[in-house]
């Protein structure tokens, strides 16, 4: 059974000095809500998972790849990316991003992202 979740994504953020830090706020088979914190320069590599995602920029500034577009984003911006479409997030400043993903992603959706983060690869390999 699910319970309501009340959260303040901007309050008391934690950061990892090595990579972006995802913190799940809610998860079910149909949907996952995550607060992700980034230090300037940290990123989620460009990938094309089989899930829809809404990215709400809670604070900070960055760059989002969505499909063939690359846009600068800032606090208050919302980006919605349909499933199987390229997406990636890169922080220009310390940044907090709320991710709403549907359905909840699987390991296959994330593939080799951990390895790509460790190698510093934001873009998809050629």
Indicate the helix (H) or strand (E) that contains 119.
helix 113-119
Which whole number is the average pLDDT over 105-118? Answer: 90
Q: What is the pTM of this model?
A: 0.93
3-state secondary structure of 108: helix
- Which tokens in the block code for residue 105? 């992603």
Cβ–Cβ under 8 Å, residues 47 and 87: yes
Task: Count CB neighbours of 34 within 10 A.
Answer: 19
Domain ranges for the chain: 21-119
Instruction: Give the percent of the chain with pLDDT over 90.
Output: 87
CA terminus-to-terminus distance, the chain: 44
pLDDT, tens only, 37-92 = 999 999 999 999 999 999 999 999 999 999 999 999 999 999 999 999 999 999 99
Which fold, 21-119?
Answer: Jelly Rolls (2.60.120)
Q: Write down the mean pLDDT value for the chain.
A: 95
């Amino acid at each position: 059974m699910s319970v309501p979740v009340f959260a303040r994504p901007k309050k008391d953020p934690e950061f990892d000095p090595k990579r972006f830090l995802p913190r799940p706020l809610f998860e079910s088979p149909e949907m996952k809500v995550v607060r992700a914190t980034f230090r300037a320069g940290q990123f989620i590599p460009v990938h094309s998972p089989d899930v829809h995602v809404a990215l709400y920029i809670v604070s900070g500034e960055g760059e989002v790849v969505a499909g063939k577009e690359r846009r600068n984003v800032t606090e208050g911006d919302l980006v919605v990316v349909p499933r199987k479409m390229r997406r990636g997030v890169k922080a220009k400043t310390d940044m907090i991003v709320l991710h709403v993903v549907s359905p909840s992603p699987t390991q296959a959706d994330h593939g080799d992202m951990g390895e790509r983060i460790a190698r510093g690869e934001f873009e998809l390999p050629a």
